[in-house]
Structure formats: C-alpha cells, structure tokens
C-alpha cells in the first residue's frame, strides 16, 4: 500500500468504524464479523480488509502517523472494543502490537 494513501485509508476506516459503532450496534453480528476478519478467524469484506491493513499502524505504531481526529477516533474505537470485547482486544494487541526485542 502506498504510504501517501494511508491517511486517506485511515480516514475512511475510522469513519466507517465510527458509523458501524453508531449505526449498527443493535446487531453486533457485523462488528463480530469485522473483528474475526482482523484476527484471521473469518472472511473479510472490503471494510474488514481496510481495518486489518490499518491495525499495524493503529496498534503497533500507536497511531503516530494519524491526524488528531484520526487519533481521537482510534481511541474511541479502541475503548469500545476494550469494553465490549476485551478478549478480542488482547488478541488484536498480541497480533498487531509491536514485538518486544
């Protein structure tokens, strides 16, 4: 993925996830599907692939290249996943977090 396009992708991913949280939380099936995709435990749709591609920067690099708005959105989404899916959050951190050397 071209590094110059990453801010655009992150903006789209964050906007999609924000809408996902706000618009579709009545049925968590879609959220579950995206999380399973990110963990390589289920099929991925377009959003799932974008999320999966962004997680190394978001989690592993602590969103250092994010804009302030993207960082705020990432924190909000992370807080949601941590509170609703703590076991999944731990798996995401293990998978996409920086490895200790």
Whole-angstrom distance, CA of residue 59 vs CA of residue 64: 10
pTM (2 decimals)?
0.72
Q: What is the pLDDT of residue 7?
A: 57
What is the count of structural domains for the chain?
1
Q: Are 9 and 1 in contact (CB under 8 A)?
A: yes
> 36-57: per-residue pLDDT in tens?
999 999 999 988 888 898 899 8
Q: What is the pLDDT of residue 92?
A: 93
CATH number of the domain bearing residue 87: 1.10.2080.10
| Residue with the larger pLDDT of the pair 19 and 24 | 19
Its domain, for residue 38, covers 3-96
Q: What is the pLDDT of residue 28?
A: 75
Asked if the structure places residue 51 within a domain, the reply is yes
26 φ, ψ (degrees, to nearest 5): -60, -40
Asked if the structure places residue 101 within a domain, the reply is no
> 80-93: per-residue pLDDT in tens?
889 988 999 999 99
């Amino acid at each position: 993925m071209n590094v110059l396009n990453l801010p655009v992708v992150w903006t789209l991913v964050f906007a999609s996830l924000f809408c996902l949280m706000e618009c579709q939380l009545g049925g968590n099936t879609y959220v579950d599907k995206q999380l399973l995709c990110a963990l390589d435990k289920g099929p991925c749709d377009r959003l799932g692939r974008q999320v999966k591609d962004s997680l190394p920067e978001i989690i592993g690099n602590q969103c250092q290249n994010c804009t302030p708005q993207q960082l705020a959105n990432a924190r909000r989404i992370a807080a949601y996943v941590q509170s609703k899916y703590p076991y999944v959050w731990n798996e995401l951190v293990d998978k996409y977090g920086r490895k200790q050397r």
